[in-house]
Amino acid sequence: MSNCPALNPASPLIFIVNAASGRTGADAKRAVIEQALQDAGRRGELRFTRPADLPRVARAAAAQALATHSAVVAVGGDGTINAVAQAAHAAGCAMGVVPLGTFNYFARTHGIPTDPASAARQLLQAQPVPVQVGTVNNHVFLVNASLGLYPVLLEDRETFKARFGRSRWIALGAACMTLLRVHRQLRLRIDQGGVVREVRTPTLFVGNNRLQLEQVGLQLGEEGAGAQPPRALDAGSIAAVMLKPISTWAMAGLMLRGALGTLGEADTVESFAFSRMVVKPRLRKIKVAYDGEVTRMRTPLEFRVAPQPLYLLKPADADGAANPV
């Protein structure tokens, strides 16, 4: 597309590698990327960094990629990909992904292989394509953003991973322990284009990823609508999901529905699509999770579809369908 940044194949790609991400060692990551570059006859630069330095390193790499008509590539899990996406989106440069996370929703949704070697090979043949991203108080999110129960769930999951290792079963066990505890209710004032209402909910979840929502049985259509085909998430809308105040046993039932892919059928779950929404809790600051990272943000919170897309390197034959796990 004419608005996408032009790429110069002679310019080296800049790979931002989170040395602490995933289960693959630094040497193995380097070998995978260097082999893919060698096979394609391309040049690349690998920058290994600690998580605390990711934003700074990503900003410098994005500025260089823009100046040299190249791309910056995130090698890691959701947090790494988000940090690089923040920088690439702000700079307007192209971005690639070599996923090393647990669920890899963003990569799978956009047809990027979850095998690192395959992803590295395919991105060298890929072209930038504009993809929709969401923002919360101007922080980009690719998959989801949330407040209330979900940030607590993520913090508990990281504690479990530190003790027991990284796997989907560990993540599931941590989620069960979190959801079956008693949780406080949030009191929120929600403004959608002048339509204001007050709600009580244990969590507000905002999703920008069809695959994640579909897996638990949630489908969003036109703005403000209920269960319809979820293509609206690709066409200027993102999805909000709220739970009504419920008991611990009712929460267990919702967990089961989510596992069976029927969460959207529960009468204690409200979901709707929107393009911009302002949420005002009673707190001046509140924990917000976005793409697996948890931080405190000042309120009110503005969730919206970003007016500027992210220019993602997608495989030439990708049609947006998720690859099998």
Q: Per residue in 82-118, pLDDT tens?
A: 999 999 999 999 999 999 887 899 999 999 999 999 9
Residues in CB range of 197: below 8 A, 6 or more apart: 189, 190
**Of 238 and 163, the one with more pLDDT:** 238
Q: Do 260 and 231 fall into the same domain?
A: yes
**Of 23 and 153, the one with more pLDDT:** 153
User: pLDDT of 227-246, one tens digit each?
Assistant: 443 445 667 899 998 887 66
Both tokens of residue 283?
Answer: 């707190």
Domain housing 177 = 144-290
Question: Could you give the CA distance from residue 309 to residue 116 in angstroms, rounded to a whole number?
Answer: 25
Question: Quick check: helix, strand or coil at residue 215?
Answer: helix
Q: Do 202 and 256 fall into the same domain?
A: yes
Is 80 within a domain? Answer: yes
- Give pTM, 2 decimals: 0.82
Is 25 within a domain? Answer: yes
Question: Quick check: helix, strand or coil at residue 256?
Answer: helix
Q: Do 105 and 71 fall into the same domain?
A: yes
Is 138 within a domain? Answer: no
Q: Do 156 and 286 fall into the same domain?
A: yes
Q: What confidence category does residue 64 fall into, taking pLDDT thresholds of 50, 70 and 90?
A: very high
User: H/E element holding 266?
Assistant: none
Question: Could you give the CA distance from residue 323 to residue 147 in angstroms, rounded to a whole number?
Answer: 29
- The enclosing domain of 65 has a CATH number of 3.40.50.10330
pLDDT given at position 167: 54
Question: Could you give the CA distance from residue 26 to residue 48 in angstroms, rounded to a whole number?
Answer: 8
Q: What confidence category does residue 255 fall into, taking pLDDT thresholds of 50, 70 and 90?
A: low
- Tell me the residue type at 216: V
Q: Do 112 and 181 fall into the same domain?
A: no
- The enclosing domain of 198 has a CATH number of 2.60.200.40
User: pLDDT of 167-183, one tens digit each?
Assistant: 555 555 555 665 555 56
Cα within 13 Å of Cα(115), Cβ side: 7
Q: Tell me the sheet residues that pair with 14.
A: 45, 72
Is 226 within a domain? Answer: yes
- Edge-first strand order for the sheet with 310-314 is 44-49, 13-18, 71-76, 94-99, 310-314, 127-131
pLDDT given at position 28: 87
Average pLDDT over residues 57-83: 96
Is 296 within a domain? Answer: no
Q: Do 161 and 252 fall into the same domain?
A: yes
Give, in degrees to the nearest 5, the angle at Cα 300 between 294 and 305.
75
Q: Do 190 and 102 fall into the same domain?
A: no
Question: What mean pLDDT is reported for the chain?
Answer: 82
Is 190 within a domain? Answer: yes
Q: Do 150 and 278 fall into the same domain?
A: yes
E strands of the chain, at which residues? Answer: 13-18, 44-49, 71-76, 94-99, 127-131, 134-136, 139-141, 144-148, 186-192, 195-201, 203-207, 238-243, 269-274, 276-281, 285-290, 293-298, 301-305, 310-314
Q: Do 250 and 160 fall into the same domain?
A: yes
pLDDT given at position 234: 63
Burial degree of 98 (CB within 10 A; 0-12, 13-18, 19+): buried
Question: Could you give the CA distance from residue 2 to residue 110 in angstroms, rounded to a whole number?
Answer: 20
DSSP secondary-structure letter at 98? E
Is 184 within a domain? Answer: yes
E strands of 100-155, at which residues? Answer: 127-131, 134-136, 139-141, 144-148
Please determine, for residue 215, whether its predicted confidence score (pLDDT) is greater than 90.
no
Residues in CB range of 223: below 8 A, 6 or more apart: 232, 237, 272, 273, 274, 275
pLDDT given at position 226: 43
How many other β-carbons are positioned within 10 Å of the β-carbon of residue 281?
17
Question: Could you give the CA distance from residue 102 to residue 19 in angstroms, rounded to a whole number?
Answer: 16
Is 254 within a domain? Answer: yes
- Report how many domains make up the chain: 2
Q: Do 199 and 99 fall into the same domain?
A: no
User: pLDDT of 259-285, one tens digit each?
Assistant: 544 555 556 788 889 999 999 999 999
pLDDT given at position 155: 60
Question: Quick check: helix, strand or coil at residue 299?
Answer: coil
Q: Do 71 and 200 fall into the same domain?
A: no
- Name the nearest CA neighbour of 106 among 132, 125, 126, 87: 132
8 A C-beta contact, residue 16 and residue 72: yes
DSSP secondary-structure letter at 310? E
Q: Do 259 and 121 fall into the same domain?
A: no
